[in-house]
Copies of this chain bind each other. A is one copy, B any other.
Amino acid sequence: MIDVRALVFDVFGTVVDWRAGVAREVARLVGDRVDAGTLDPERFADDWRGRYAPSMDEVRSGRRPFVPLDVLHRETLDDVLAAHGADDVPGAVRDELVLAWHRLDPWPDVVPGLRRLSARFVLAPLSNGGIALQVALARRSGLPWDAVLGAEVVGAYKPDAEVYDSAPRLLALQPGQVLMVAAHDSDLAAARARGLRTAYVHRPDEFGGRRTPPATDPAAELNVTSFAALADVLGV
C-alpha cells in the first residue's frame, strides 16, 4: 500500500447508514401514516432502495440518457408510495422525501477515521449519488472530502468502467495509486477490474438484519471493520 495516494469511497452503506436515515425522514414527513400503522418506515426504506439498481439499469444500458440519482429517486418514490398505499402524498412532500438521501448520517467510525486518513491521503466519494447530494452529506457531518467524484462527474453509473477510470484520471494518478473502499464486493470487483486497489469494510447493520453482508471479501486486498481500522492498517 506504499504507493497509494488517494482513497475513494462508496457512500450508501459504506459511509452513511441509508436505511436508518431514510426511515427517519419518512417518519418525519409522512408521520401520520406511520402513526396510523399503514406505513412502516424501515420497510419503506428497503423497498425504495430495492428500486435503485433497476432504475440505474435504464441509464447503464443506454436506453435513457444520464440523469442524476435525485431524478431516479423521485421517480421510484412514486412507485414505492403507491405500493405502500400512500398514493395521496402531495408533490411537495415527495420532493422533500427525495432529500432524505441528502440527510443521511455516517456510521460512528466514519468522521474520526476520515480525519486521520485525510492527513496522508486524498479522499473523495466515488458514488452513484450526485454532487449536490454528496455536498449536502459532507456539510451535514463534516466529511473531509478533497473533491467530489463519481457518477454525475462522468455521466455514468457504477459499475460502468468509466466511473472507476475517472478517479485516477481526474486525480492525475495511476490506477494502482487509488484505493477503492466499499462495503459491497461487487463494487470492489468492478474497481479491481480497472486496476484500482480495494478495501472491504464490513457493515453488518446496512440492511438492518434483513440481509447479512459477508464478514470479509476474500478478493479484496484489505479487509476492515471500520474506518479507524483502515487508518490503523494504512499506518496513519
- A binding-site residues for B, Cβ under 8 Å: 70, 122, 130-132, 134-135, 138-139, 145-149, 152-153, 170-173
Contacts and interface: CB of A to CB of B under 8 A. Distances in A.
Contacts of A147: 131, 134-135, 145, 147-148
How many monomers of this protein are in the complex? Answer: 2
Contacts of A135: 122, 146-147, 171
Residue among A131, A138, A139, A153 with the most chain B CB within 10 A?
A131
B130 A172 contact: yes
B138 A146 contact: yes
A152 B138 contact: no
Contacts of A149: 131
Nearest to A172: B132
A138 B147 CA distance: 10
A171 B134 CA distance: 10
Nearest to A135: B146
Contacts of A70: 172
A122 B148 contact: no
Contacts of A172: 70, 130, 132
Nearest to A166: B131
